Chains A and B, each alone.
Chain A
Amino acid sequence: MRVNVKLFARLRELVGQGELTLDVPGATTVADVWAALVAAHPAAEAYARSMSCAVNLNYARMTTPVADGDEVAFLPPVSGGSGAAVR
């Protein structure tokens, strides 16, 4: 199964590209795609606990199913708007 992976910001820089096609035989969920990404690009591991994800432009979870040809995006913590986030 092949999926199109999109990466952004510092995660994109760590992996060295913003878009890649990953061959993930037997993948069923986003977690499998992430594991394949980390296997191919170990630097991505830095975001294992802080990233979120989207599948075909829908916010997703690591347990979300994926299918052949899906676009899977991994999102580092976001910082849009202006100034710092209120916690």
Chain B
Amino acid sequence: MCLAVPLQITSMLPNGFARGEHSHVQVEFSVALLENPQVGDFVLVHAGVAIETLDEQSARETLSMLKEVVDGSQPR
């Protein structure tokens, strides 16, 4: 299944693109669909396109939830 991992924008790139990061993994994506994207925003990315901006609390709640799911995936 796909997972909605929020990424935080770390830098804006030319031509409507941005770079985002979570846990040292960097991803480049289009921000063409977002209104006024800013460095520091948390976004959800689908197929290389940021489809939604999340507020920080919501992003952190989702990340926390994902961590629980992933921890449940650990081999025992």
A and B bind: no
Q: CB within 8 Å of A: which residues of B?
A: none
Q: CB within 8 Å of B: which residues of A?
A: none
